[in-house]
Structure 1
């Protein structure tokens, strides 16, 4: 889709803008027209402000911009009393109509189906459904220094900070008790890891280089089981995680196992410049971590900066087919999701299932973004990391045979 963004002054009150939008949508619904908010309207509806210092928090663009089906332009024009022929440029038609003090612009992109657009995203405002062009699209549609690109980047940074604060608060509520419930007291867990560290590394083993003496960092390392297993095998291991409770448990397990473990309690995206010195032989992340990031590019850059030349990334996570597309119940599987969905999902923090009912009642919800394989691979490859392999692992349950459960991405700097 060719972008036709034009700068829009911020002059209109947000209340007027939303009321006008809903009035326009009522007309479209009456004539059975699907739409997507685009350009400045899509940005504003999702909370993006083009100016770093907005004129006023309750102001909005002085117009509405909507994409509609290319072969339904005439019907929409008639509904709004427009007789002029649409303007045409590079595969796009458009017309403008003054409506309730705003300029409403309708675009149609030839041979594009509005409702199947993978960048079409549903949001809620005042208990109303609104369809918008996803911010991911605008993050990549313009040059890096374009005002829209910079505005979306600022928005994602703010959203990530908000999301990280929620996650940090949630993971500091009762994680230590959750791990004791799940794995046992630190002494018990330490003895289990010491007995057979290779088994604790599970599916990581086939991707690991010779590890003795190597400098390893485990991002979002949680309770530290795999990191401690690597330390027992002779690696110099650092964990990065924002939870003091996770660190408390991991440090006690490491002490009981009599190994050195460096645990940095911080947001991965806020690692100090001194840490990002390109000295690590191995960066690994595994199982249930990518969905905490609203934009993968900053994480991928951190990984690239941590690795030495020839250093390796091993990333294992749950397969998007299972997390985004299918819902399963016993032997029955249903395609109930959207593989290209770009929305945030509110959910309980991961360790809540290991808590007692009393403790679990106070757990906060966090927001997650589920990524597809193309988005994941592209994010890391874009930093210059060389993709060595991508393995898709099947589900081990008989009822789920043939369905991918996890994937492993191996890349090198």
Structure 2
């Protein structure tokens, strides 16, 4: 090999290495995956939930400010902006009367949730925030809907507001500007429920409004109690608006939550929480474009065709079809919220992904607990993540807040639900 080609090869290798080093561990389009490390006792590292100390708030990136747009809420989980700018906040938690899992592991999980601030009773309510005061807070806060069953996703199609409860998809008549739902709801379809290991059900509409997409998480970590209880789960459903008929659009997605259509490519994307108990850095949560009929591995494999030996019997036929996700967002970060920035107030985030990371409870050190941004180019992730809002963990690792749903306000500000702080944060340019 001559000197010139060798030099070019070395420069190329160095450039590729430098690019790889820009990504944190477990992040990016090609994350390095360590060998699995199964243990009899799962890692427990719980950040105890505490209220925000007086006068404190999360830390925004340079040039930004964060204000409490809505406060005094009760476990706000998900957000939706109506066309007139009103903001709907789903205040929700796991269903109270759902069948409970037995065994020591389930008891430990319950204690973990209590300590992490997730053990509160579900308010089963949607609150409406309207307007903007000079100090960045909402002008009014009213009860929009109540007596629901662990509501989560919300979307308006025409004059129908769809709400995804833990056990069913409903629709309600909606009139522009009303501050509470006045019409009677109608059930569109039942959704897999039962024990509801993952109870959150999200819903969004296709850009043309003809289809709905509904997320249904798995009922276990890795099919621990067999695949019989996973019927229709670990999937995204497609529902035809005109007929109300549904079908599984994509499967093998352990716990999909956030969904969004990219503003340029119009492709459907989702944020997925991956499996636990095989190591600090396995398996990375991810965001990915979702293909019609696509299979993404759960429970038989992870991140493409990495076989999970814990699952019996195996399905090599399905593993062979498993699609590699587009972009890893860190192990155990509990990445729930997903939105693409399509506003003009913060042009540095245009067309990129906003990801609300609820935060880990089974990793040392902690991961997540922040709002991050992933740049996109030509409809695909194009670089390392950037922090937008941090500081949800104190120096002694208590959780003042936990990010969940994220969306873009009508004026272009970013809104983030904090279900431990009981606040909806508004992120905007400093001084505006």
TM-score by length of 2: 0.23
Give 1 or 2 for the bigger CA radius of gyration: 1
Task: Considering fraction of residues, name the structure with more strand.
Answer: 2
Identify the structure with bigger relative contact order (alpha carbons < 8 Å, sequence gap 6+): 2
Task: Considering fraction of residues, name the structure with more helix.
Answer: 1
